[in-house]
A and B are shown apart, each in its own frame.
Chain A
Amino acid sequence: EPEVTQTPSHQVTQMGQEVILRCVPISNHLYFYWYRQILGQKVEFLVSFYNNEISEKSEIFDDQFSVERPDGSNFTLKIRSTKLEDSAMYFCASSAWFSGRGNEQFFGPGTRLTVL
């Protein structure tokens, strides 16, 4: 069964460093998302991406964050200068929205980002 994959599973970085989190969405999906979950808290929406541009972004997704679909299969989240409060589990999701199907979003296993 097709699934969303994410790499790495765990990333440790120093404050102020740039990180890139990678995702391979399900191949026939059209919408892509990043969410994050700070330990013990709710899953929070960061950004949605469709047709090679951002559809919607949350207040969390400030100028330090960017997304890209560089090659038609990967979907990346870059954090330019990490802060301690960026430590969280980051989930990529994708959905094959089309009329009558509904927006079922399938999530990857997550990347645990630890900022020291």
Chain B
Amino acid sequence: SQQGEEDPQALSIQEGENATMNCSYKTSINNLQWYRQNSGRGLVHLILIRSNEREKHSGRLRVTLDTSKKSSSLLITASRAADTASYFCATDAGYGNKLVFGAGTILRVKS
């Protein structure tokens, strides 16, 4: 089954350091999306990368996609305490289709 799985499960870094989170999935996809969730809150859309794209940037975020390895990574540069949250990847296999979420990476940025 198509499923995003993130690693690490938890990551603790100092403010100013970079944070890298990885996501693997099992089937072909149309796109992969990354979301942030602050504790007990809603999901905030960060970035979408299509299956024909290899890298995408948005501010301090950099996302890569390797369809041959069925994996993606999210890099947050120069992290801030406010980046503390859970980060999820979600895969989309078709138009208007459901997103399948991974279990997430809990990121803690210490100031």
Shortest Cβ distance from B103 into A: residue: A42
A interface size (C-beta, 8 A) = 27
Chain B residues close to A by CB (< 8 Å): 30-31, 33, 35, 40-45, 48, 50, 88, 90, 92, 95-104
Residues on the A chain within 8 Å of B100, using CB: 45
Which chain A residues in 60-116 approach chain B with CB under 8 Å?
89, 91, 93, 95, 97, 102-110
Chain A residues close to B by CB (< 8 Å): 30-31, 33, 35, 42-45, 48, 50, 55-56, 58, 89, 91, 93, 95, 97, 102-110
CA distance A93 to B97 in the complex (A): 12
Shortest Cβ distance from A103 into B: residue: B92
**Nearest-Cβ distance from residue A103 to partner chain B, whole angstroms:** 5
CA distance A109 to B100 in the complex (A): 19
Residues on the A chain within 8 Å of B101, using CB: 35, 42-44
In-complex Cβ contact of B31 among A33, A58, A91, A102 (8 A): A102
CA distance A63 to B62 in the complex (A): 42
Cβ of B41 and Cβ of A104 under 8 Å apart? no
Known: A102-B48, A104-B33. A48 touches B98 (CB 8 A): yes
CA distance A42 to B104 in the complex (A): 8
Cβ of B97 and Cβ of A107 under 8 Å apart? no
Cβ of A45 and Cβ of B42 under 8 Å apart? no
In-complex Cβ contact of B42 among A48, A56, A58, A110 (8 A): A110
